[in-house]
């Protein structure tokens, strides 16, 4: 089983077989029909959806139905265990796009408690809170609507969530979290309780909740759907993303604890260039001569995959890059240069907005329209 | 094993063998030497201590040492699952006496979360919060110093406790709470986490914490003492009370869910009289003639035991009652009348103070000197 890949919220290892996951987790594929339905609302189509980086869902069709009547709300989050990399940003980029197109509220949870409780992180609570602040800057930089977005971290917002967390927790026993999350007798009692706090925000509004997130968070949502109706509440819908492949190859997800596998959102041009040249796994041939003769393999080339997932939105341009690489006309170094140029431009823009975000933290956490409303509410 | 009695924070059954408990839990008896030491501070001696209703301790000698230098603080609490009866009040009566004699701070936790999470209670969170309010009135009526006492309930004070609760929770795993509390795979994840929140207040001050409480809470304190030093904090000291025997006999503890076993703090004179006449287990003989001839047995007579524990402070008077009952001179009805008179007087006074307490709730929870300080603090 070792090579089959492993997915829990705290571990993603090996080669990820997304078809198998879809089946195993009981998800539905995002097919062209559904994409057309979305387009009916959004007019244009986000590259992450068009290229099926968001590949699977639950009840997204229902969300689109309700979009016409009751409306819906968006919920996503971040475990603040370290600096954010490109892969971490993707669900936020997509969530922001959905917010813009549907004009809905977005709730973003920073689980500073969870990342402290997770033993292998070896982080103090002070550290996870510091990372929460740093990560919030990156999240704000994505461009959310400050009056329709509430960013909160568990240790600060706990009082407002705790009564509902208790009601959720009362419906979940140890057997269940052992089966769903792989908890063991050695798991600490904080982490055992934590799932209740990740579920609370799915009930923040009486509307249906849509969660855009990486697929490793799915166990929380399966649990949410098991207990929602017994609490007189609604099952949440999900739209699941794949993982951005690590620089060093297509397996697993990027890990902030292995710096060479990631491009951080704070990396400068020089660092990006060095990392891509040195670490980005190449589908090219060992020598220029061989490459010209045999061509490269874009399917396993990380630089090409990154362009495909996010950085080259133009289908025609992407197709030309793919053909030229496959034919040997485009060399690995040249392909990397294309990615580097896009990446550096993206990061420079992001870093500029990240600086501006420092002035907006209070707005998103406390003073914006939605934030003010949320601090008045106690969820029960 | 069934007749040996069972003690956890959520279950007390059968005959309680306090000697066995003392040994098993690793407690020390409160002996005359220690009582003399206490008297060195307090001058007079509380009847609950003199008659060894508070029968065992951990580190009480250490607390008395520190009373001369650093000082100490008191912590006790109440699970608000229903109306309070006489037995529930006893630790508060004693804690109040200690506060008065030592001039120290008292922290009183209302575990509205725990009583909601405990499945067999079948209480809603709304109900446990309503009981928290009702119980707080009884607690205030005991006469605590409103500037040295902080009464808080978990769902309200959670934000201030949560960071420290996380640090505590990270040190405790499922195996441990299974062994200490008898939790099972079917236990809900809220109750599994809860012990962290009962431990937090033991660290409210940098001084040593002394906990006067019924002995069924001891598992929490054993856990506290196991982890305190790893958190760079102090082990709490305890002084343990027995249970007030239920009206219907000397086994177990009074249970608010079986009204006939308890005298509620809100019972009126008529109810008290009826309950004592009807239910108070008697050590007397079946007929007056036999009683005059053979005498009664005060050792198993609940009315006598209640007088001994709390209601007849005068040792000489108590001795005369005992002798007269044993000789047959005092009839069961007469013994019951003695108790009823004391009890009714106590309850009338308590109920008067309970009415006045309604004006003081805000003071103890939010506005008193200690309360104001506590709302400013986040424990980490």
How many interface pairs between A and B have CB atoms less than 8 angstroms apart? 117
| Whole-angstrom distance, CA of residue B329 vs CA of residue B335 | 10
Structure tokens at B252: 């177990």
Rounded CA separation B336/A13 (Å): 73
What is the C-alpha separation between B156 and B152, in angstroms, rounded?
Answer: 7
If 0-12 CB within 10 Å is exposed, 13-18 middle and 19+ buried, where does residue B62 land?
Answer: middle
Residue A102 has pLDDT above 70, yes or no: yes
Q: Which residue has the higher pLDDT, A109 or A3?
A: A109
Model pLDDT for residues B89-105, shown as the tens digit of each residue? 999 999 999 999 999 99
Only one residue has tokens 């997800």, namely: A253
CB B143 within 8 A of CB B353: yes
For chain A, the distance separating the N- and C-terminal CA atoms, rounded to the nearest angstrom, is: 42
Q: Which residues of B touch A163 (CB under 8 A)?
A: 125, 155
**φ, ψ at B320 (rounded to 5°):** -65, -45
Kindly list the residues of chain B whose beta carbon comes within 8 Å of any beta carbon in chain A: 113, 116-117, 119, 125-126, 154-156, 158-159, 162-163, 165-167, 169-175, 177-178, 183-193, 195-196, 380
Low-confidence stretches of chain B (pLDDT < 70) are 1-7, 12-14, 251-257
Average pLDDT of the residues of chain A: 94
- Listed in sequence order, the residues at least 6 apart from A286 whose beta carbon sits closer than 8 Å to its beta carbon are none
Decide if B192 contacts A189 (C-beta within 8 A). Answer: yes
pTM: predicted TM-score of the whole model, two decimal places? 0.94
CA–CA distance, A105 with B125 (Å, rounded to integer) = 29
Mean pLDDT calculated for residue range A273-287: 95
pLDDT at A259: 72
> Does the pLDDT value for residue A332 go beyond 90?
yes
Contact A189 B175 (CB under 8 A): no
Region at B214 (left for phi over 0; alpha for psi -120 to 50; beta for the rest): beta
3-state secondary structure (DSSP) of residue A76: strand
Cβ contact A325:A356 at 8 Å:
no
Q: Give pLDDT, residue A2.
A: 36
Using pLDDT thresholds of 50, 70 and 90, give the confidence band for residue A5. Answer: low
Q: Which residues of B touch A190 (CB under 8 A)?
A: 165-166, 169-170, 193, 196
ipTM of the complex: 0.94
Pick the residue from chain A with its C-alpha nearest to B118: A170
Which of B126, B154, B166 is closest, CB to CB, to A117?
B166
Task: Provide residues of A within 8 Å CB-CB of chain B.
Answer: 113, 116-117, 119, 125-126, 154-156, 158-159, 162-163, 165-167, 169-175, 177-178, 183-193, 195-196, 380
A23 SS3 class: helix
Residue A235 is predicted with a pLDDT of: 98
The residue of chain B with its CA nearest to that of A165 is B190
Give the span between the Cα atoms of A133 and B166, in whole angstroms.
19
Tell me the chain B residues in contact with residue A126 when contact means C-beta distances shorter than 8 Å: 380
Record: contact B156-A158, CB cut-off 8 A: no
CA separation for the pair B221, A379 (Å, rounded)? 32
Query: Do residues B162 and B156 touch, judged by C-beta distance below 8 A?
Result: no
Of B320, B125, B174, B261, the C-alpha closest to A175 is B174
């Amino acid at each position: 089983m070792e090579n089959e890949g492993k997915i829990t919220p705290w571990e993603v290892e090996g080669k990820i077989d997304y078809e198998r996951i879809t089946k195993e987790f009981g998800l539905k594929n995002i097919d062209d029909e559904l994409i057309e339905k979305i387009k009916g609302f959004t007019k244009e189509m986000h590259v992450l959806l068009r290229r099926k980086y968001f590949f699977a869902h639950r009840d997204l069709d229902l969300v689109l139905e309700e979009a016409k009547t009751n409306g819906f709300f968006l919920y996503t989050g971040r475990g603040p265990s370290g600096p954010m990399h490109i892969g971490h940003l993707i669900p936020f980029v997509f969530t922001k796009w959905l917010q813009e197109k549907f004009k809905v509220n977005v709730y973003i949870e920073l689980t500073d408690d969870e990342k402290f409780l997770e033993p292998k992180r070896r982080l103090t609570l002070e550290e996870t809170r510091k990372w929460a602040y740093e990560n919030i800057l990156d999240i704000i930089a994505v461009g959310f609507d400050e009056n329709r977005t509430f960013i909160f971290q568990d240790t600060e917002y706990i009082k407002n969530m705790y009564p509902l967390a208790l009601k959720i927790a009362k419906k979940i026993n140890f057997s269940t979290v052992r089966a769903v999350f792989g908890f063991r007798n050695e798991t600490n009692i904080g982490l055992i309780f934590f799932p209740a706090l990740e579920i609370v925000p799915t009930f923040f509004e009486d509307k249906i909740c849509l969660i855009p997130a990486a697929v490793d968070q799915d166990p929380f949502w399966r649990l949410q759907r098991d207990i929602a109706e017994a609490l007189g509440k609604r099952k949440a819908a999900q739209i699941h993303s794949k993982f951005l492949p690590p620089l060093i190859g297509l397996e697993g997800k990027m890990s902030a604890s292995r710096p060479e596998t990631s491009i951080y959102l704070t990396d400068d041009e020089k660092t990006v260039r060095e990392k891509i040249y040195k670490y980005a796994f190449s589908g090219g041939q060992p020598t220029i001569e061989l490459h010209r003769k045999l061509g490269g393999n874009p399917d396993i080339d990380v630089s090409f995959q990154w362009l495909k997932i996010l950085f080259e939105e133009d289908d025609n341009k992407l197709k030309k890059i793919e053909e030229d690489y496959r034919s040997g006309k485009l060399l690995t170094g040249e392909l990397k240069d294309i990615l580097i140029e896009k990446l550096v431009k993206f990061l420079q823009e992001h870093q500029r907005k990240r600086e501006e975000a420092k002035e907006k933290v209070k707005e998103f956490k406390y003073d914006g329209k939605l934030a003010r409303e949320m601090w008045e509410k106690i969820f029960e």
